[in-house]
């Protein structure tokens, strides 16, 4: 290899690393994934996350970025050691990030890289991310969200908020299938059913007779008849009727224990993302512990209109669509307004077999 070729290789590899940061900043995950060889790997043990192959890298990156409020990455030049059609190197990273759930911080990290020359130029064979410094102190700055989209790449389309009217429209079969696949990747079981009647029948298959079952305060359960089946049908040890019979002034501790750890919790959600996350909202928070992990098993019945692209849109759906409807119901039933005082975001299910999502092809609830 002559000196000119070596210089050209170094320039191309440095451009590859710059392209990676640009794709990450522009939220263009298909482009970022294309920078890897077909079997390339992106490993981030500090997160932890590991994605092998371009499709996993794309899907994993989309799940990650759906959790961001903002993310800024700066890459500093490192080393490159050429060896024919392969090379190794390091790049030095500074990042600022805040997630929608409030996690935030500043970090300095190193990418340990392996590169491969291909017919399409140099590609990443492997990137291994190592955090060297992490500061999780609250960040003083904010992101100017109105200016997020640059208009220069296809990913900007996903940054444009959907109109509120779309929050009532059922998702297509293709989107439901995409959601189901993402949920399965994240450890949930996921099924697509025709309608609420099918979900009502499926619950009887999934919940054994005699099991202790807590139902969430859900219009989906009420309208489908599932709430009635569980709480008045006599087939199960229904928790909610027991709770309603307890004096709240003297039995608060007993109520808390009953609702926190039933054998099954059956509920709906305020939104489900195409990246495989579930979002639940609550005024009191009493039903959230069972959903989060207190119940041995969880079942969520989700109407097709609750599908959204990402967590940012999911939170908008909670505030702009679900809350006004729930507020009107609460005023009519209880004579007092509702509020989103607690939010639960389930990004993955670490206990295999615990969580099942029944996605309906029809819209039901809100």
**Mean pLDDT for back-to-back runs of 10 residues, the chain (366 residues):** 83 94 90 95 88 92 78 91 96 87 84 96 96 87 51 40 62 92 95 95 96 94 95 95 91 92 96 95 92 97 95 91 86 82 94 95 92
- pLDDT at position 60, please? 85
Rounded CA separation 276/181 (Å): 8
Predicted local distance difference test score (pLDDT) of residue 152: 38
Residues 341/345/350/356 CA torsion (nearest 10 deg): 100
Kindly report the backbone phi and psi dihedral angles of residue 246, in degrees, each rounded to the nearest multiple of 5, phi listed first.
Answer: -90, 135
Instruction: Give the per-residue pLDDT at 143.
Output: 66
- pLDDT for 150: 38
Q: How much is the pLDDT for 275?
A: 92
pLDDT at 11: 94
CA distance 265 to 296: 8
Among 94, 87, 164, 159, which Cα is nearest to 127's?
87
Measure CA of the first residue to CA of the last residue in the chain; give whole Å: 65
Determine the pLDDT at residue 163. Answer: 39
Is the entire prediction scored with pTM above 0.85?
Answer: no
State residue 332's pLDDT score: 78
* Residue-level pLDDT at 329: 80
> What is the distance between the alpha carbons of residues 198 and 301, in angstroms, rounded to a whole number?
11
Structure tokens at 140: 């003083």
Full set of structural domains in the chain with CATH: 3-159 (3.10.450.50), 164-360 (3.40.50.10420)
Question: What is the pLDDT at residue 165?
Answer: 41
């Amino acid at each position: 290899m002559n000196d000119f070729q070596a210089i050209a290789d170094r320039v191309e590899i440095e451009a590859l690393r710059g392209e990676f940061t640009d794709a990450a900043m522009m939220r263009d995950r298909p482009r970022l994934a294309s920078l890897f060889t077909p079997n390339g790997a992106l490993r981030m043990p500090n997160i932890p996350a590991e994605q092998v192959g371009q499709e996993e890298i794309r899907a994993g990156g989309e799940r990650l970025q759906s959790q961001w409020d903002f993310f800024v990455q700066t890459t500093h030049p490192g080393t490159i050691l050429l060896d024919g059609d392969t090379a190794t190197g390091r790049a030095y990273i500074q990042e600022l990030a805040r997630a929608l759930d409030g996690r935030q911080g500043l970090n300095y990290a190193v990418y340990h890289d392996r590169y491969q020359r291909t017919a399409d130029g140099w590609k990443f064979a492997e990137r291994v991310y190592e955090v060297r410094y992490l500061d999780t102190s609250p960040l003083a700055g904010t992101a100017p969200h109105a200016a997020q989209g640059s208009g220069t790449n296809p990913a900007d389309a996903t940054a444009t908020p959907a109109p509120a009217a779309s929050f009532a429209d059922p998702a297509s079969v293709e989107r439901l299938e995409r959601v189901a696949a993402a949920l399965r990747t994240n450890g949930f079981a996921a099924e697509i059913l025709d309608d609420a009647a099918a979900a009502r029948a499926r619950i009887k298959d999934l919940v054994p007779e005699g099991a202790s079952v807590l139902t969430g305060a859900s219009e989906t359960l009420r309208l489908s008849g599932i709430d009635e089946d569980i709480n008045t049908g006599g087939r199960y040890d229904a928790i909610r009727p027991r709770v309603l019979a307890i004096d709240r002034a003297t039995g608060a501790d007993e109520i808390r224990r009953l609702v926190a750890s039933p054998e099954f919790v059956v509920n709906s959600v305020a939104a489900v993302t195409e990246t495989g996350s579930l979002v639940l909202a609550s005024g009191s928070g009493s039903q959230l512990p069972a959903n989060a992990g207190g119940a041995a098993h969880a079942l969520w019945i989700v109407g097709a209109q609750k599908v959204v692209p990402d967590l940012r849109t999911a939170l908008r759906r909670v505030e702009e669509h679900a809350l006004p409807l729930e507020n009107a119901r609460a005023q009519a039933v209880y004579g007092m307004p509702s509020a989103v005082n607690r939010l639960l975001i389930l990004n993955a299910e670490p206990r295999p077999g615990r969580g099942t999502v029944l996605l309906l092809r029809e819209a039901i609830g809100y």
